[in-house]
Amino acid sequence: MYIVAAPSNLARDPYLYAVEITNTATKQRVVLRDAGSLPLWSARQAPSGPEGEGDCLPGAPTALVSGIVEQSNSGIGIQMPTLALKVADGTLLTFRLGPERVLLASDLELKPGEPVTVKYAASAAYEVLVALAITNAAGTTVTLRDESGRPGWH
């Protein structure tokens, strides 16, 4: 494997991010970022999908739900974390959050057993709930996407 990588532009992020990956045996190449290091899955690029959601929420009504964090799969190496939230009636809702680097930069910890409020919308293109903003018990809010679902990261 041959990997071209670039450093993050976030001050506290010591990691390198892959720009392209080439399988040296097969010569197969996958380009992940454009010349400016913007992810090809971000809202500023033509394709959109579950990673960025991009324009997958056009006109989708937003909702607000509060509950207790059941599980969060965020952590180093997890590219698109999710949050499982248990609401008052016992229903478990799972939300796509945003890139791990965005959550780390915000200092928002999602610990099991803690209450949070999630502003979200249902994706029109995928059968997922997409978090737009998360507010913890201390009142700290992290905005992940705007009302249209466009990511706040690039």
Q: Is 152 left (phi over 0), alpha (psi -120 to 50) or beta?
A: alpha
Separation CA 71–CA 113 (nearest Å)? 9
Weakest-pLDDT range from 4-8, 86-90, 111-115, 122-126: 122-126
The domains located in the chain, with CATH, are: 2-31 (no CATH), 62-143 (2.40.50.140)
Tell me: pLDDT of 46 over 60. no
**Strand locations in the chain (E):** 2-7, 16-22, 29-31, 62-72, 82-87, 92-96, 115-122, 129-136, 141-143
Q: Which pLDDT tens digit goes with each residue over 120-146? A: 988 766 678 889 999 998 888 998 888
pTM of the predicted structure, to 2 decimals: 0.62
